[in-house]
Every structure is written in C-alpha cells, then in structure tokens.
C-alpha cells in the first residue's frame, strides 16, 4: 500500500474507529495517548538492573562479633531491669549514649575505636522493652520521655559516675533533651555535664520529615499495625533469616545509582561490612522481646514530653549535629531546638549544620569530632 505511515494507519484503523460508540472515543484517545507516553518509562523500568556493591570477601574477618561481651543488666527498685553495655576506655570520661529508633545497646560499639583513642567511656543504655531492658508495664498515657531520664540517673548512680555526658542519636534525641531538662545539676545525683544531640528527633510540635497528616494520624490514632508493617517489610527486619541472609538481602536492595553520594561514601567505607553486621545484631536485639517495645517507644515520642526546651538549664552545654541532606529527620529540627534553647537564655548551645550530609553520614563521618567536642566541654 502506497502512502505515508500516517495514511496507512488511518486506512487500517478507520473502519474500527467508526464502529466504536461515540461516548468511548474520547476515553480511547486519552488512554492510547497515555499508554504511548508511558511505554518508554515502563520499558526502562522493567529492564533496569541496579548497580550493586560487591559482597564481602569469603575470608573477611569481622571485628564486631564480640560487641555483646561487655553487656550487663541493672535491677531497678520497681522490679524492672535495664540493659546496658560499655565500650571505649573504661577509665575515660563517661558518656551515656541513647540509641535510635529500633536500636539497642549493641549499636554503641560503633564508638569503641574512637572512644578508646580519645579517652571516653561509652555506656549504651536500652529503653524499655528493647534488648535486655524490661517493658514498662504502665499505660502509655502515663508515660513520657522524662521517664527514661530517671533510668539514666539510676544507671549513673549504680556505676558511681561523678559526672557524665549524654549523646542522643536519631530517635534518642527527645530523650537526650529530657536528660538536659531533668538531670542537669540536681542535688544528690550524679551531675550531667553536657548533652550532644546527633541527627535527633525533636519535640512533637517541631518540624517533621513526614507529611503533617501522617504525623497527626500517628499521634491521635492507633497505627501500631501500620508502623510495624512499614518496618518489618524491609530486608533487615526479616528476622526469620540468618544475619548472613539479611546482609545479602540488604546488599541486593542497595542501588548505587539511586543513593545519595554521602550515603554511598559511608557504604563504601573499608569497615562497612563490620558496621552492617553490627547493625543486624543490634536490630535483632531491638525486637528480641517482640515489637511492642519499639511501638511503645514510637508512641511515647509522639506524646507530650512533659517539659519545655526553653526550660533546660542555661548553664548546660548542648551541642546539636544535623545533616542538611537528612531525609529521616528534618534539619530544621536542629535550628528550632537551638532557637528555643537561646530563648530560654542558654548561651552554651552549639549548632552544627553539615552541608550535603545525610542522617547516616553525619553520624559516621563526624563521630570522632562529636566525641572530642563533648569531651572538651564536660570539664570533669
């Protein structure tokens, strides 16, 4: 048949077009046009092959497999138990570290090398219902982030700490601010000397990385099942698998081409295989008693904290570390905490906003400096 492609197409489909009922012609044109526009994207998606990092060598010698050796339990007067672990220099300046969401005492082994070199004693404590810490039997409506400050004070007294610092990371952020409010120089208790909040969550009324509607739903409705589903579907939370199988699933889920450069830098670090294995050990510990500890923790973080940031002691050094490219915790949180501390008269607040750094890269790349700066202002 002679003629252009357009002529041949019209000649072929014209009979069928006139048979098509008139009301269906416009939807047919729209649907066909959309299919033609989306076809290249769908084709690329179906044929896309992610670029993966290489697996660890078969003879790789992991260095973090003894992270549990320095763990212990403290029995409290109310019958609960607190799990904790100590790393770094046992004779150094004591720093109590507060883990993130779905964390445990074991993740604090990440500080071990730098802490030994800097003369810092790391004491990683677990929150109720996670790791070796007993659940808090009270109703959630009676709990707040201030409760954990009491556990931290009990641990400081048990270890006979004359003074200490606190590092609160990610989901531990509000608990660190609660310590700053409740434990700074109280009579008859070990004295809190300084607090460092590293990519930490803020108060419930501060900026969030999630849409306001999601934050409202989590605060006002019981979404425990949804939160558990969101986390448990990730490879690292498939606890029916061995740590080796989970590590391989994580590797296959990590696409170099779709990863922020700062996170990629961390993922390609020579010790990244150790970090991943420690992370997997810690996450398994976090839900060793079930998911209720984490779900309760999320609910407490969404509840009213029981204090104002402005009322934190004006004499307590508070250091804030945030990554400008953090998609987990809004970097605006650091600015808002600093503003509220300043409004309360605190002239010892330090705000460190790291350009181009993410949630993970801020924690990893600035760990030594975080320890150094905190140690310098503790003045024990």
Task: Write down the H helix ranges in the chain.
Answer: 5-19, 25-46, 112-118, 146-158, 173-182, 212-220, 224-232, 243-252, 261-267, 272-286, 292-302, 332-343, 359-365, 367-378
How far, in Å, are 97, 225, 322, 342 from residue 170 at the CA level? 11, 22, 10, 22
d(C-alpha 285, C-alpha 280), whole Å? 9
Let me know: does 373 contact 320? Beta carbons within 8 Å: no
DSSP codes, 349-376: EEEEEETT--HHHHHHHTHHHHHHHHHH
| Domain range 71-378, its CATH number among 3.30.950.10, 3.40.190.10, 3.30.70.360, 3.40.50.1820 | 3.40.50.1820
DSSP codes, 164-183: EEEEEEGGGHHHHHHHHHHS
Vertex 297 angle, CA 275 and 155, to 5°: 75
Tokens in use for 302?
């969404």
Buried b (16+ CB within 10 A) or exposed e, 270-287: eeebbbbbbbbbbbbbbb
The residues of the chain scoring below 70 in pLDDT are: 1-3, 5-11, 13-14, 16-18, 20, 64-67, 185-189, 209-221, 380
Q: What is the pLDDT of residues 6-65, one digit of tens each?
A: 666 666 766 766 676 777 777 777 887 787 787 777 777 777 788 999 999 888 888 765
How far, in Å, are 216, 229, 276 from residue 243 at the CA level? 35, 20, 10
Nearest C-alpha neighbor of 227 from the set 153, 291, 155: 291
d(C-alpha 145, C-alpha 297), whole Å? 9
| Reported pTM | 0.86
Whole-number pLDDT of residue 220: 65
Domain ranges for the chain, please list them. 71-378
Whole-number pLDDT of residue 343: 97
Whole-number pLDDT of residue 307: 97
d(C-alpha 130, C-alpha 368), whole Å? 27
Tokens in use for 264?
């990629």
Whole-number pLDDT of residue 13: 63
Tokens in use for 44?
């690329």
């Amino acid at each position: 048949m002679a003629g252009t492609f357009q002529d041949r197409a019209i000649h072929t489909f014209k009979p069928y077009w006139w048979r098509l009922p008139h009301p269906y012609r416009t939807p047919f044109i729209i649907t066909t046009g959309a299919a033609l526009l989306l076809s290249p994207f769908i084709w690329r998606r179906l044929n896309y092959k992610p670029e993966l990092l290489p697996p660890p060598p078969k003879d790789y010698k992991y260095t973090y497999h003894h992270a549990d050796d320095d763990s212990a339990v403290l029995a409290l007067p109310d019958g609960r138990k607190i799990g904790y672990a100590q790393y770094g220099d046992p004779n150094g300046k004591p720093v109590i570290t507060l883990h993130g969401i779905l964390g445990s005492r074991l993740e604090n082994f990440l500080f071990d090398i730098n802490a030994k070199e800097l003369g810092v004693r790391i004491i990683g404590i677990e929150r109720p219902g996670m790791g070796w810490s007993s659940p808090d039997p009270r109703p959630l409506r009676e709990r707040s982030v201030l409760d954990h400050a009491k556990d931290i004070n009990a641990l400081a007294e048990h270890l006979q700490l004359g003074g200490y610092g606190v590092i609160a990371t990610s989901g531990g952020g509000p608990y660190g601010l609660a310590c700053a409010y409740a434990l700074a120089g109280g009579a008859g208790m070990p004295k809190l000397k300084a607090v460092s909040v590293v990519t930490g969550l803020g108060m419930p009324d501060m900026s969030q990385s999630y849409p306001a509607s999601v934050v409202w739903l989590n605060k006002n409705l019981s979404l425990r099942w949804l939160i558990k589903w969101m986390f448990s579907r990730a490879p690292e939370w498939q606890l029916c698998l061995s740590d080796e199988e989970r590590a391989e699933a994580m590797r296959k889920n990590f696409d170099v081409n779709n990863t922020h450069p700062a996170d990629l830098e961390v993922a390609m670090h020579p010790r990244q295989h150790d970090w991943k294995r420690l992370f997997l050990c810690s996450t398994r510990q976090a839900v060793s008693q079930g998911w209720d500890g984490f779900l309760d923790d999320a609910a407490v973080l969404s509840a009213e904290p029981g204090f104002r940031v402005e009322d934190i002691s004006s004499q307590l050094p508070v250091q804030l570390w945030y990554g400008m490219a953090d998609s987990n915790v809004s970097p605006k949180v650091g600015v808002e905490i600093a503003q509220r501390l300043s409004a309360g008269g605190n002239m010892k607040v330090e705000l460190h906003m790291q350009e181009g750094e993410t949630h993970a890269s801020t924690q990893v790349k600035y760990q030594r400096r975080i320890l150094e700066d905190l140690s310098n202002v503790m003045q024990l």
